[in-house]
Amino acid sequence: MLKIKNIHARVEEKAILNGINLEVKPGEVHAIMGPNGSGKSTLASVLAGREDFEVTDGSIEFLGKNLLEMSPEDRAREGVFLAFQYPVEIPGVSTVNFMKTALNKIREYRGQDTLDAVSFLTLMKEKIKLVEIDQSLLNRSLNEGFSGGEKKRNEIFQMAMLEPKLAILDETDSGLDIDALRIVANGVNKLRTKDNATIVVTHYQRLLDYIVPDYVHVLYKGKIVKSGTKELALELEEKGYDWIKSEMEVA
């Protein structure tokens, strides 16, 4: 589904990613871990197509297409979804209205009919149940005055609505208490199918207790320095990132 080859990226003059290689297949969950500043969020942004980051080398293939040539909105329409670490506020625009616009833009791109109000609401009701979100929240201005947990839950609700092929969760656990974390993780788990894939970007192991990854990759100084299964996350938790750092210094 996703083939990242030797990706180098920089912001302004500073190199952040120094040759990332990663392959994600349908049905898989990959966790990207690493200390602060290792390039985790940059990788997420590069996949989503954020302009601030310049890709200087390498290639990314998504479902057989060259992802780097696509505009951010077309990436979204092709099925890439980014759950933001810091979801922005859009005053006066409700989540309902926002999702209706987004879904219909995506459907238009795929040559499908736009949804009328009734079918949209039916779909929405179904997804509300799935991710356990309070409907009144969805009628309020997008993210305005939302708590940290509400913002993240709203991201997962949007993910449920748009049914992406590849979901990237950027530090979705940051700022969540344990109950919110569980609800958010449950939502993500319910959305898993054999045809879609998830990349979980996180600093801490605890999210991975709820969203169990097939693979764990450790990012350090813009490179994947270690890959393994979920046990690697536990080992990291126990030994701390200094373990990776010192190992790298020795090497």
Partner 1 sequence: MSKDNQVLEEFTSKEYEHGWTIDLESDSAPKGLSEEIVRFISAKKNEPEWLLEWRLKAYRHWKTMKEPQWPNVKYPAINYQDIIYYSAPKQKAQPKNLSEVDPELIKTFEKLGISLTEQKRLTGVAVDAVIDSISVATTFKDKLGELGIIFCSFSEAVKEHPELVKKYLGSVVPPNDNYFAALNSAVFSDGSFCYIPKGVRCPMELSTYFRINAANTGQFERTLIVAEDASYVSYLEGCTAPMRDENQLHAAVVELYAKKDAEIKYSTVQNWYPGDKNGKGGIYNFVTKRGLCAGDHSKISWTQVETGSAITWKYPSCILKGDYSNGEFYSVAVTNNYQQADTGTKMIHIGKHTRSRIVSKGISAGKSQNSYRGQVHILKRAENARNFSQCDSLLMGDQCGAHTFPYIDVENKSAHVEHEATTSKIGEDQIFYCLQRGIDEEAAVALIVNGYAKEVLKQLPMEFAVEAQKLLALTLEGSVG
Binding site for partner 1 (CB under 8 A): 48-52, 71-73, 75-77, 81-82, 84, 87-88, 90-93, 97-99, 101-103, 105-106, 109, 141, 158, 162
- Residues 248 and 38: beta-carbon distance below 8 Å: no
Minimum distance from residue 72 beta carbon to partner 1 (Å)? 4
Helices 230-239 and 241-250: crossing angle in degrees, nearest 10, is 90
Minimum distance from residue 77 beta carbon to partner 1 (Å)? 5
Closer to partner 1 by Cβ: residue 23 or 73: 73
Instruction: Please name the helix (run of DSSP H) or strand (run of DSSP E) that holds residue 191, with its range, or none.
Output: helix 178-191
| Cα–Cα distance measured from residue 162 to residue 180, given in angstroms and rounded to the nearest whole number | 21
Closer to partner 1 by Cβ: residue 84 or 220: 84
Minimum distance from residue 82 beta carbon to partner 1 (Å)? 5
Closer to partner 1 by Cβ: residue 163 or 247: 163
Closer to partner 1 by Cβ: residue 48 or 236: 48
- The helix/strand/coil state of 126 is helix
Minimum distance from residue 91 beta carbon to partner 1 (Å)? 6
| Cα–Cα distance measured from residue 168 to residue 174, given in angstroms and rounded to the nearest whole number | 14
- The helix/strand/coil state of 229 is coil
